[in-house]
Every structure is written in C-alpha cells, then in structure tokens.
Amino acid sequence: MNTRELSKAIALLAAIRDWQKASVFKVKALQKIALTLKPLSTDAVLAGTYDHLFSDQARIWIKNALQQGVFTELEHAKNEIPSGILNFFKIKGVGPRKWRLIYDDLGIEDVVALEQACKDLKLSALKGFGIKTQTQILEQLHFLKQNNNKYLFSEAYKQHVCIDTILKSIPHFKYAVTGSFARHLEVIDCIEYLVSDELVFQNAISTIPLTVPVKVVVSNADDWGYNLLKTIGPELYLDVLELHLHQHLKADEITLHALLDCAYVPPTRRDAVKQKQDLARYASQTLDSNQLKGVLHVHTTYSDGANSIEEMAQYAINKGYSYLGITDHSQSAFYANGLTLNRLYDQWREIEMWNTKHPDCFVFKGIESDIRADGSLDYDDDILNSFDFVIASVHSGLQMDEAKATSRLIKAIEHPSTRILGHLTGRLLLNRSGYPVNVPKIIQACAQHNVAIELNSNPYRLDIDWRWIDYALEQGVWIALNPDAHSCAGIDDMFYGVCMAQKTLLSSAQCLNALDTQQIFNFFNRT
C-alpha cells in the first residue's frame, strides 16, 4: 500500500463515519488526513519526514497501514454497514448523509435497488432528490457498470514490473506482453502474456499479490510471431493486415509485416490504424522520454504540493531536466490552498533567488489559473501578465452541458495570457467521465490563438484523450506533456504521458517540452 492508496482508504473511512452520523469534527479530521497524505512520498512518510503534519493517532494508523498493506480501521468499519452502501460512495454529487436518508426512509442498500428506484422516481419523495438528481445518479451508475472490472494502465504497469523482474531471470523461458496492455490503452481489463510454458509462468508469479487479472496464451516457437501479432491486436488492425489469410506463415512479428507487404507499426500505435493507407504513416518512430527537456506543471508547498520549490527543482535536475515550470493553484482555489497575492510575491522572490544560484535548471514562474464559470481567468490581467506562463484549467462547476463547457474553455483560450490549456475534459479515469465538450472546436481555438494543449500525465487523468492528439497535430497545436505533479515522485508520471503519446503521431517537433529553455521562453512570450 502506498500513500495515495491509503489516502483513498482514509477518505472512504470518512464517508463511512459520515454515513454512520459520526460527529462533523471526526469526519472532517479524517478528510484532512486523507488530503494531507495524498501527495506525500510513501518512503518519506515511513521515514518520519512528515510526522509533524499528523496527530499521534494518525501517525500510528498511517505507518501501520503502509507497513502491513492493510488499513485495519477501514476493514472494521466496512463490517459495520451493509456492504452495498460502499458502492454508493462512488457516485459523485450525493453525500453520505443523503445516502443514509435513502437507506433509512426507503430501505435501499444496493445499486440494483437504487437504479430501479431512480427509474421509478421513488427518490422524489425525499428532500433534495429531484428528477435531475435521479437522472445524474442513473448516468453515473451506467458509467460505473461500464468500468466494472477495469484497471488503470499505471496499476497494471506497476504489477507488470514485478512480474517482469521474476520472468526475465528464468533461463530458457520465453514471454512477451500482449493484448491491450502492450498497446498502452489507458484502461484495461487484464495484463496478457504470451508464454512458452504456462506452468513455469504460474509458478513464477505465485508469490506476487495480483491486483490486476493476468491472462496467459501459450505458444510454440514456430508460431510465436503469428500468435504475438494476433494477440496484440486490435481486431481492426489484423483485418487491415488480412492476417487471417496467412496463418501458415512462420516468422517473427516484424518479418511477418514484411511478408504481408505492410509497414511495421509499433503495438502502441495499432489502435489508430483504420485502413491500409494508415500503415506507413504510423510506422514512424514514437516519442521517447529522453527527448523531453523540461517539466511544465508542478505544485509545491505554496499550494497543495508536498515538496518545496527547491526540492522539486533538485528532483528535476536529478532526472536530467533543464527547466521546471512551477504552477501552483490560483487564489480562488481555496480547496487547494490557492495563492493569495502576498504568497504569490513570496514565491516569485524564491524562484528568482533559485535562478540566480542554479543555472543548470531554470524555474519558470507559472500558475494554474482557475477558469471561472464565465470563462475568465483567476487574478487580474496585470498579475496574469506578470507570470512567465499560465496554464488555464477548470476545477469547479463541472456540471455543464456541451455548449456551456465549450464556450467557457474557448473564452479562457482567447485570453492573451493563456499559454497552455490544462486537462481538457476534467475526467478522472474510472471515477468520472468529465464534462462534455466539443473537442474539435477547442482544438481549433487553441490553433488560432497559439495555445498548447496539455496531455496531463497523471495516470488518473491522461487528458487530453490520446484519440484527439493526431487531430490537434494536424491543426498545428503544440502538445505539452505535463505530470501535474504534487510531489517530487509525481514528476515520474511523465512516463505515463509518454506511453499515451506513443499511441499517436506526436514527435519532438510538436511536443512543447521537447523544446530547450530558450525556445520555451520564445513560445511563452509569443516571439
């Protein structure tokens, strides 16, 4: 268990206690612990670095859970309520006390009964549950059904690293990742392996606690290339190759493409191939992490981050980056300790001092400015003009129709200080679908105003969706791979952004942070 997972568990405990009608103070205390813990490094918490942030009781809870891998207090609490209630807490916009009202007055304690009650408008008899609310609940229940037994790519990747470490040490054993995981889909249902011996594979991974299901396909050596190509998929790609007509071919995967008179497309890009003419286009080299020269979206202790400017910058240096963009939350983001003007000026002075002493990593004075409901940006224009760059993002008022969301974003894009549009749809994978927006119109507006679009590399976001990146590139829009890091370790999420970028035609030529420091300066200054 890591700090992010434990934070989620503590937040769930807070929801359970709220449902049980515990005191407001107790619930808020748990919520504060969860929020404080979320961005912190697991190793640093275990080392006692952040002991001062928590009470004695909380420190005991946290360290026991991180060391043992189980949050005992939560497991006990789960047994105190009907098990079906836990699924209610996944639905946004309805708090635990309202779920308790539904339970007390209507006896509803599982999602099946809840869905039927909403369809029959039975919740209308309760205060605060109009037709609109019941419709939203039904929409979220549908979303949860669609994503049941699905897993984030990042979760699968971490598990694969553990498996791969063991498998590669086994002599005379052949294996390869395949399926949707090999194609870097952002959400998958399992990790699939092609193996030479299933028994050897199962024995090897028997000691690994699996959180993501594993599927195994066995192949002999002669059919290895064919089976690898077939299991990687997707079906449309195999149809384009007309693979079903060539089952007799015995060769490795790359040679098979040549025998089929087809350009070899890397597995990550195969989802984008729709017809034979696409093959040559997607056969080009994919973006590589080594081509990235800097990081442009990180938060520090000035807002809701876990590390200081100096710590974040030093970590960036250690990772080989030559610049860093500090983008703490703006003042209206009170929930994230957004920067008041006085603290903003303090931050600028600290950044200027860093840049005076450390020429090896330039720190840009940026901000993640909230896009207000009317599309305006947080802070007055004279303040916005004083930043090196502005990332404009929506963090509140997410319940919008497509017309409202599109208009709101376009107005923010049109602001002359906006240089990057942050997490375009506001989605959280497996959690919420994000607000509806006319993506082509947003991309066209960014092209018109020379605003880059962020590929938010946080594994829960991965937003802009990779499926729109090639269209953005066609329109001449820059893509910024940003980690949205709230700790030093969060900078490593750049990896997941690269994984998504490798599904597209994005190259260093249109990747914003593949530019060097002077080139980035020029982009920010529109020169």
Domains of the chain: 3-146 (no CATH), 151-281 (3.30.460.10), 289-524 (3.20.20.140)
Contact 208, 166 (CB under 8 A): yes
Report the pLDDT value the prediction gives residue 132, as an integer from 0 to 100.
87
- In this prediction, residue 460 has a pLDDT band, given cuts at 50, 70 and 90, of very high
**b/e string for 140-153 if b means 16 or more Cβ within 10 A?**
bbebeeebeeebbb
What residue spans of 222-274 are helical by DSSP H? 224-232, 235-241, 253-259
The pair of structure tokens assigned to 138 is 């039904």
- The sign of the CA dihedral 34, 40, 46, 48 is negative
Mean pLDDT of the chain: 95
Contact 159, 192 (CB under 8 A): no
Say whether pLDDT at 231 is over 90. Answer: yes
Report the pLDDT value the prediction gives residue 44, as an integer from 0 to 100.
87
Contact 321, 520 (CB under 8 A): no
* Digit-coded pLDDT (tens) for 360-373: 999 999 999 999 99
Report the pLDDT value the prediction gives residue 127, as an integer from 0 to 100.
86
Compute the distance between CA of residue 192 and CA of residue 143 in angstroms, rounded to an integer.
25
- In this prediction, residue 437 has a pLDDT band, given cuts at 50, 70 and 90, of very high
Give the contacts of 143 (CB within 8 A, at least 6 positions apart): 432, 433
Give the DSSP letter of residue 432.
Answer: B
483 upstream amide cis, omega within 30 of 0: no
Higher-confidence position of 416 and 38: 416
- In this prediction, residue 76 has a pLDDT band, given cuts at 50, 70 and 90, of very high
Give the DSSP letter of residue 230.
Answer: H
234 upstream amide cis, omega within 30 of 0: yes
Q: Is 260 helix (H, G, I), strand (E, B) or coil?
A: coil
* Digit-coded pLDDT (tens) for 119-165: 989 998 888 888 888 988 998 898 888 888 999 999 999 999 999 99
Task: Report the percent of the chain where pLDDT is more than 70.
Answer: 100
* Digit-coded pLDDT (tens) for 241-264: 998 878 788 899 999 999 999 999
Quickly count: other Cβ atoms within 10 Å of residue 517's Cβ: 14
Report the pLDDT value the prediction gives residue 266, as an integer from 0 to 100.
97
